[in-house]
A and B are shown apart, each in its own frame.
Chain A
Amino acid sequence: MPTTFREGDTLVSPVVVAQTHSKGAPVQDPEVARSSGLKAPVVPNVFHFARITELMLEHFGAHWRTHGEIDVRYISPLHAGDTLQARARVLKVAPDPEGDRVHLDVRCENQDGAVLAQGAASCVLPSARGAASGTGAG
Chain B
Amino acid sequence: MTVVPAATAEAVRLIEAHFAALEVGARVALERTYTEADVAEYVERTGIEYPGQHVADDGAHLLPPGMLLVGPARTFGILEGPPLARGGLFTAATRRYRRPVRLGESVRYEAALTDKFERGGYFYILVAWHAFDAEGHEVGSGVEEHTVGSARKPRAS
Residues of chain A at the chain B interface (Cβ within 8 Å)? 16, 19, 21, 23-27, 29, 32, 35-36, 42, 44-47, 49-51, 53-54, 57-58, 61-62, 64-74, 119
Q: How far is the CB of A97 from chain B (nearest CB, A)?
A: 14
Q: How far is the CB of A100 from chain B (nearest CB, A)?
A: 17
The chain A residue sitting closest to B139, CB to CB, is A65
**Given A26-B83, A36-B8, CB of A74 within 8 Å of CB of B91:** yes
Contact: B41 with A50, CB < 8 Å? no
Give the number of residues in B that approach A within 8 Å (Cβ atoms): 39
Q: Is B98 an interface residue (CB 8 A)?
A: yes
Q: Is B48 an interface residue (CB 8 A)?
A: yes
**Contact sample, A vs B, 24 pairs, CB 8 Å cutoff:** A24-B45, A25-B87, A27-B83, A35-B5, A36-B150, A42-B89, A44-B45, A45-B89, A45-B90, A45-B91, A50-B42, A50-B47, A50-B48, A53-B65, A54-B48, A57-B54, A64-B65, A66-B99, A69-B96, A69-B97, A70-B95, A71-B92, A71-B93, A73-B91
Contact: A57 with B89, CB < 8 Å? no
Contact: B66 with A25, CB < 8 Å? no
Total CB contacts across the A-B interface at under 8 A: 111
A46 to B46, CA, bound (A): 7
Contact: A57 with B65, CB < 8 Å? yes
Q: Which residues of B contact A36 (CB under 8 A)?
A: 5, 8, 84, 150
Across chains A and B, which 3 residue pairs bring their CB atoms closest together, nearest first?
Answer: A26-B83, A50-B46, A25-B87
**Given A46-B66, A54-B53, A66-B98, CB of A25 within 8 Å of CB of B41:** no
B31-62: CB near A (< 8 Å → 1, else 0) gives 00000000001101111110001101100001
Contact: A65 with B100, CB < 8 Å? yes
Q: Which residues of A contact B87 (CB under 8 A)?
A: 25-26
Residues of chain B at the chain A interface (Cβ within 8 Å)? 5, 7-8, 41-42, 44-49, 53-54, 56-57, 62, 64-66, 73, 83-84, 86-100, 145, 150
Contact: A27 with B150, CB < 8 Å? yes
Contact: B47 with A25, CB < 8 Å? no
Q: How far is the CB of B91 from chain A (nearest CB, A)?
A: 5
The chain A residue sitting closest to B65, CB to CB, is A53
A51 to B99, CA, bound (A): 20
A66 to B8, CA, bound (A): 43
